[in-house]
Chains A and B, each alone.
Chain A
Amino acid sequence: MGELLRDDAELILAERRYQAIADILESTLTKGEGKWTYTDMFDHVFLHKALGIPIFLAMLWAVFQFTFSLSEPFMVMIGMIFGWLGGLAEELIANPHLASFVAGGIFDGLGSVLVFVPPIFMLFLALSLLEDSGYMARAAFVMDRIMYKLGLHGRSFIPMMIGFGCNIPAIMATRSIDNEKDRMITILVNPLISCGARLPVYVLIAGAVFGAKYAGTVIFSMYLLGMVLAIVMALVFRKTLFKGKPSPFVLELPAYVVPTAKTTILHMWERGKWFLVRAGTIIFGTVIVIWFLSVHPWAATAGGEMIGNSYIASLGHFLEPIVRPFGWDWMAAVALLFGFLAKEVVVGTYGILLGVEEGAVGASLVSLGLFTPLTGLAFMAFILIYVPCVATIGVVAKETNSYRWAAFVVVYLVALAFIVSGLIIGIGRLLGFS
Chain B
Amino acid sequence: MADFDTGTGKTLGIYTSALGLLYLVFGLIEIFGGSGEQVPGDLFGGFALVVIAATYLIGVKGVLRGRHQGLSLLIGGLFLSAVFGVLYLLIIGADGLMYLLGEAEELPGLVDLRPAIWFFILSLPLVYTARKLTKRITW
Contacts and interface: CB of A to CB of B under 8 A. Distances in A.
B73 interface: yes
Contacts of A37: 137-139
Contact of A50 (B3, B58, B71, B76): B58
A253 B3 CA distance: 26
A420 to B, nearest CB: 20
User: Most chain-B CB neighbours within 10 Å: which of A35, A62, A76, A213?
Assistant: A62
Interface string A213-228: 1001100100000000
12 contacts: A37-B138, A37-B139, A39-B139, A44-B69, A48-B58, A59-B83, A62-B83, A70-B90, A70-B91, A76-B101, A216-B44, A217-B43
Which secondary structure characterizes the binding site on chain A? helix
Contact of B47 (A38, A61, A66, A255): A61
B98 A76 contact: yes
A58 B94 contact: no
Contacts of B44: 61, 216-217, 220
Interface stretch (B11-19, B49-57, B119-127): B49-57
Nearest to A71: B94
Contacts of B138: 37-38
A37 B87 CA distance: 27
Interface string A23-44: 0000000000011111111101
A418 to B, nearest CB: 27
Contacts of A255: 139
Given A54-B54, A58-B52, A217-B42, A73 B98 contact: yes
B72 A45 contact: yes
B91 A65 contact: yes
User: Most chain-A CB neighbours within 10 Å: which of B3, B48, B71?
Assistant: B48
A419 interface: no
B101 A51 contact: no
Interface string A253-270: 001100000000000000
B55 A51 contact: yes
A55 interface: yes
A58 B58 contact: no
B9 interface: no
Contacts of A69: 90-91, 94
B80 interface: yes
Contacts of A65: 45, 87, 91
A69 B54 CA distance: 26
Contacts of A76: 98, 101, 103
A72 interface: yes
B47 A34 contact: no
Contact of B97 (A51, A73, A216): A73
B72 A73 contact: no
A62 B48 contact: yes
A77 interface: yes
Given A58-B80, A72-B98, A255-B139, A66 B51 contact: no
Contacts of A70: 90-91, 94
Given A41-B68, A45-B72, A256-B139, A55 B80 contact: yes
B35 interface: no
Given A42-B76, A51-B54, A58 B87 contact: no
A80 interface: yes
A38 B69 CA distance: 11
Contacts of B50: 54
B55 A36 contact: no
B26 interface: no
Contacts of B43: 217
